[in-house]
Structure 1
Amino acid sequence: MITRKVFLVIMAVLLCIPSLIGGQPPAYADEFEYNDVAKGSYAYNEIHYLYEKRIQTGDASGNFRPNESLTRAQAAVIMTNALGIGGSVSGQTFSDVRPDHWAYSAIERAARAGIFRGNNGRFSPSDPISKAHVAIILTRAFNLTGTQTSHFSDVSADFYAVREISALERNGIVERASRFQPNQSATRAQFAAYVARSFEPSFRLDVTEQSVLYQGKVANTSTPLNVRSQPNMDGDVLARLTVGTTVDILGEVGNWFEIKHGNGVAYVHKNYIQKIGSSTSPSDDRKVMEEGRVIANSLNVRQGPSASTETIGRLSFGTIVDIYDYSGNWALIKFNGQWAYTHKDYLVTRKPGEGSGLGNLVIAIDPGHGGKDPGAVGNGLREKDVVLGAGLELNKRLKDLGASTVMTRNNDTFLELSQRAKIANDAKADLFISIHANAAASASATGTETYWNNSHSSEESKALAEAINKRLVEDLGMRDRGAKQANFVVIRETKMPSVLIELGFITNSRDAAVMKRSDFNEVVAKAVIKGIEDFYNW
């Protein structure tokens, strides 16, 4: 057996060759493990499987770097390794991949095999590969088929890769969640998981076991019931079921039930399925007390008001439910025609018909800088003063809407960055809003931007940043610099959806003039609140 020390020496030598990044590993120890991929972590088995199959490896220090984005060139190398596409190549398909490029051979082979395609004669080898394009290359490489319908809320029927993403869902290659984030860069761990599951079916997720809602049986028909590939009459007929046949119901799409079919999913019309063992339908005597919206990625629905009772389904982020009563921390709801419970801590609620659902939120407001730290200075303004005024106004207006708030500072006080994050975490805040103003060496720099971090609640943080930034740009009339990922301490260490707002550039005379307006604080506060409400889609 090769020792770890010898292995690392071999890796150090071989990884001097750039084409091995994400490619062929050297000889390996039977019990080799990456330093940064602990047992039980995401895709642990798939990552080590690809290592053993000489498909994808890490770096000379024994790290896999699971959370780093994967480039298109690296993806091409991994795919040609997985498919065993070899042989010599010549010529140049893409203007930006010359024969002396480290991944030239793999890119040429992948392109000629029809797995990868470029754009306007370019391959863009150093660009991160998006999750949508990962779906496309995997369906091409492994002949996977999908439909025009995806369960992901951010993959619409007219999205350019909906069929490919649906194929990954149906074949147990991607985890089901509320969103897929198709335009986000795929990480090395995600790509390893998807490739391993495509390559080796034993790694595939059991899409039925993880999401069966209940069982039904075919009824109300004198002829066999068609099982279709899509939730519409245009779907191919995959099978026919006789009266009394039992099916596992995985979900609902319009007038169709999604059911288990073989190792994947298919669809049958609701009119011909009767639920097995259903309890008496909920009495109409109860009145709706409140409306709730799910603020977790996936929220369990249970038979009773306890975590020890059976899970009978799940609600995705953004789902709106009627609440009929409370039992401790549990909300009584209707779910698929029966009474059920879900935990109230993962719902934002309002009275029926009310315009705002912020009443049970705890929102942390962080005016940046303060005390001995003035922040950016320019055009007669100090950042610490600008953001404190905006923060105080936001605090007032949120309280008027019934939200609970916690401010990291409400006067001219200095706080360390880690203290600010701790205040929000200790308060168990639902959202963290850090308010800043920007500065640049060039007085021409202008505009509003909002940052998020992927350490905690990354999907929600990104969505919150996008929603707030859009409203601020609209209402302040600032240049839109977009929502961006960053590693600022206050949004990295807070454990709830968190954003850091840069209202504008103090060093720009036009932006500074906006900040000096008498209604500036009011406009900022209203815009942030509208962004929060957009985030909850309430």
Structure 2
Amino acid sequence: MLNKMKKGMSVLLTLALVLSQMTMVTAAASDYENHWANANIEKWMDLGIIKGYPSGAFMPEASITRAEFVTVINNIFQLEEKTDVTFSDVKTTDWFEDAVLKASTAGIVSGHNNRFRPDDRITRQEAAIVLTNAFQLTGTEAAAYSTYTDASDVATWAATQMSVLVEKGYMQGRSNNELAPMSNLTRAEAVTLLSNIAGELITEPGEVTGMTYEGNLVVSSTGVILKDTTIKGNLYIAQGVADGEVDLDNVKVQGELVAFGGGENTITLTNTEVGTLRVIKHNGKIRILAIGNTKVDKVDMHSGGKLQEDGSLTGNGFGNVEIYTVRPGETLTLEGDFEALTVNTPVKNLVVSEGSVGTLTIMKNAEGSELNISSTGNVGNLVLSGSTTVTGTGTITKAVVNVNGSTMTMTPTETTVSKDVEVEVGGETVTEDDNTATTLHQVAAVAVADQPHLQQP
């Protein structure tokens, strides 16, 4: 049951088509009464969160502009971050300037030749790109849209995104089995697409208990507690949470948990099951805390942050962790017992502050990384296929070094250095001739590190 603080939270409260030429009206729209999108339009019209024109009409078949569509996305995610990026055709006096720049900062939209074309009608395939960027959608089929008669009209630059929306059933074709990728997106289609993808939205603090969400759920407010809840789609912690807190207690997320927002105090997972956690916090200042019987199968880090396992953890905690992006100045900290960590990009501030990492692999394309292992940290197997500086007073049980240019201030219990490779260990140069041990485990680790096709993507 929803408590009284969440009245109306189970619907998409902020799906507002904020158009520059629209004003708030009280007259009932009648031009969508027999329209195929009537249910979606009527639901939000009744709530007063989408509005018609002054005449009272909604005009469901009218096209929506790029600026208008981006404003809707901004309303859903309550985007916070805005850099100094500018477009020559977006002025500070334009009503859409704030939304466009925030969406650009979030990587949701991009311009061409420093132009955004805000007043152009957005096409269906352009909208597909915006939506897949905003909701971090991925698919498994290369061309799910191929059954449509006009499949060849899908542009190469939009093929992946169109395939994702069709595969997941978010985008349907028009008449005559046509997908119409180059046609302008209508207002009715925009409402329906966003309804299909966003699912439901929580915009106010409070507790939600005993709910089952059949699709996706977007949380855009701090102070939200989800308890005894199942989300069959994805759960999005939106930028609107900012540096606030969201608590999940006995929650099952069958899709992905995508954290755009949340601060250093904290997104808390208590007795919670998550398939994949994806962290994309703009400034990297976010903490994800696992408590009790919590299990997260996989973690994809696209920003800095802190993954922390509470001392009372009884579940598996965080599973395999993959690091894909950490911006300059951001820190990624691990505190707990982690099975495996793979670094796919250079990270200047990677810290094992407490606990252990079973296998920590620095891939070749992560060359230049800097790893600090604190006095209370341990790495079981450290595989360096990209040159790395390792500091701290923690321990390394086994080190496998496959590349020149690495240094370790501490001395691992066992070290294996590949042929023609030198590494500085504890202030001394170590080569293959100085290997302290060669075990079957280490030979296997070297083989995997030297053969990318055997490694995790």
Q: TM-score, normalised by structure 1?
A: 0.31
Which structure is higher in helix share? 1
Q: Which has the larger radius of gyration?
A: 1
Q: TM-score, normalised by structure 2?
A: 0.36
Which structure is higher in strand share? 2
